[in-house]
Amino acid sequence: MSFQNTLAYAQEQDHQDELRYFREHFHIPRHNGQDTVYLCGNSLGLQPKSARAALEEEMTKWAELGVEGHFTGDDPWFTYHKTLAAPTAKLVGAKPEEVVIMNQLTVNLHLMLVSFYRPQGQRYKILTEAGAFPSDQYALESQVKIHGYAPEDAIIEIAPRAGEHTWRTEDILQAIKDNGNEIALVLMGGLHYYTGQVFDMAAITQTAHEVGAVCGFDLAHAAGNVPMQLHDWDVDFAVWCTYKYLNSGPGGTSGVFVHERHAQNPELPRFAGWWGHDQRVRFKMQKGFIPMPGAEGWQLSNAQILPMAVHKASLAIFDEAGIENLRAKSEKLTGYLEFLINGLHQPKDQLEIITPADPAARGCQLSLLVNKNGRQLFDTLMANGFILDWREPNVIRVAPTPLYNTFEDVYRFGQFLAAHFQG
Ligand SMILES: *Cc1c(COP(=O)(O)O)cnc(C)c1O
């Protein structure tokens, strides 16, 4: 791709972009009377304008129908979660019965670990990436302790090679093979939150299965960002949140994938609750848990309709845009960002992109390692209407998302950096 560092070029790319109208579907935060350059959808996605109406629809139903809303009106609450399955399945490459929307991410991770971390004999270890998102680290640590193991012994962390920022797939696969007899579970991020690297989920899953381990992914940064084929890759389970790239609101609901091999197995141990119980006899209120077939059988509580209503509005936008179309734009948009940063003629020891250069090994986010006065640069950017995020000790994450960011956004960010480093 041949990019140009001019406003005219950026505006022409926006003009040619068939997805440009989707920006109109979102509220863009303002700064000094102008739209911000919002490059932070990896942390909290923007609000779809349709979210308010979706929420109001359920508020009205509640006001007018009260408890009857469970069984009457459009999309009764009793089966509300089912309306989210088809668009969710398309996003992550699953069958509708393999996914369910419920709870929040870390809660769902624990529920999955209850079913899929089943240590036995010498096979009791979990292999994960070093520097995983802290919530995942705490979840793994507490789960191995519950089974009576010491985290230092039972958790194997794979780090990048010395002097490198990202992982080589061959090293991950080799580590799985080297520890093959001891690993019960491989649990990794699908897309690493700090570096922006996409892991080779298909190869990791296959190798985990070859050594007799189960394989799951935390897709917090992958869902809505990169297309996936969870079913075909034979992934055992996955979880993700919906408030990052999926634009479903702070603390929003979460998604779960359970491969049909497991989802259709009522014998699989799990923590149970009444909303996972066979829907035909749920209201008989009798003892003896019978799981719903599919991922629905992991539900515990009755569905949280309000956050789900927001998520439903957001999923409709993804459905209309198409994840493959979004990905095509995303590769170009992030490629443009990379081109502008590489053109800064900045000594590498000051500012360095640590995200892989191969578009197949990243999503929309680029992570900038700023070796000197990084926090100061970040604060200056924020004070000037560039919304990004800072991750200790020295990384600024920049995430142009294809739904609402423009080439002009990226150009303006590049201009600001150029002026900063010249000044
Ligand atoms: C954002 C994120 C979380 C956050 O967990 P919540 O339960 O939604 O608060 C967890 N893990 C990863 C990898 C994340 O990126």
To 10 degrees, the CA torsion angle through 183, 184, 190, 194? Answer: -60
In the DSSP assignment, the letter for residue 69 is G
For the chain, which domains are there? 7-42+323-422 (3.90.1150.10), 53-319 (3.40.640.10)
Residue 348 alpha carbon to ligand 1 centre in Å: 31
Question: Residue 350: its pLDDT value, please?
Answer: 84
CA of 133 to the centre of ligand 1 (A): 7
> Who wins on pLDDT, 329 or 393?
329
Q: How far apart are CA 329 and CA 327, in angstroms?
A: 5
pTM of the predicted model over 0.85: yes
- Distance from residue 332's CA to the centre of ligand 1 (Å): 27
Q: Establish whether residue 133 lines the binding site of ligand 1, counting it when its CB lies within 6 angstroms of any ligand atom.
A: yes
CA 144 to chain centre: 24
- Dihedral angle of Cα 69, 74, 79, 82, to the nearest 10 degrees: -150
Enclosing H/E stretch for 35: strand 34-35
The pair of three-digit structure tokens given for residue 180, joined into one six-digit string: 């093959």
Ligand 1 pocket test, pick from 193, 217, 219, 253 with the greatest ligand atom count within 8 Å of Cβ, gives 193
* pLDDT over 70, % of the chain: 99
HSE toward the beta carbon, residue 160, CA cutoff 13 A: 16
pLDDT one-digit tens code per residue, 309-324 = 999 999 999 999 999 9
CA of 106 to the centre of ligand 1 (A): 6
**SS3 of residue 339 by DSSP:** helix
Mean pLDDT of the chain, nearest integer: 96
- Cα of 364 vs centre of ligand 1, distance in Å, is 18
pLDDT in tens, 71-107: 998 899 999 999 999 999 999 999 999 999 999 999 9
Query: Which residue's CA is the nearest one to ligand 1's atom 1?
Result: 220
- Binding-site residue positions for pyridoxal 5'-phosphate: 105-106, 133-136, 218, 221, 243, 274, 302
Q: What is the pLDDT of residues 1-20, one digit of tens each?
A: 789 999 999 999 999 999 99
Find the 239 Cα to ligand 1 centroid distance in Å. 10
Q: Which residues, in sequence order, are bridge partners of residue 173?
A: none
So what's the pLDDT on residue 64?
96
Mean pLDDT of 392-406: 96
Tell me the CA distances in angstroms from 21 to 85, 180, 321, 324, one per residue in order. 26, 49, 10, 17
Two structure tokens written together for 298: 């992991």
What residue owns the CA closest to ligand 1's atom 14?
A: 220
Q: Quick one: pLDDT at residue 348?
A: 67
Closest ligand 1 atom, residue 241 Cα: 8
Task: Looking at the CA of residue 107, tell me the nearest atom of ligand 1.
Answer: 7
What residue type is assigned to position 347 of the chain?
Answer: P
Tell me: the pLDDT tens digits for 275-302? 999 999 888 888 999 999 999 999 999 9
167 lines ligand 1 (CB under 6 A): no
Give the mean model confidence (pLDDT) for residues 33-56: 97
User: What is the tens place of the pLDDT at every residue in 365-383?
Assistant: 999 999 888 999 999 999 9
Burial of 109 (0-12, 13-18, 19+ CB in 10 A): buried
Task: Tell me which amino acid residue 84 is.
Answer: L
Q: Which of 135, 187, 201 should be mutated for ligand 1, with most atoms under 8 A from CB? A: 135
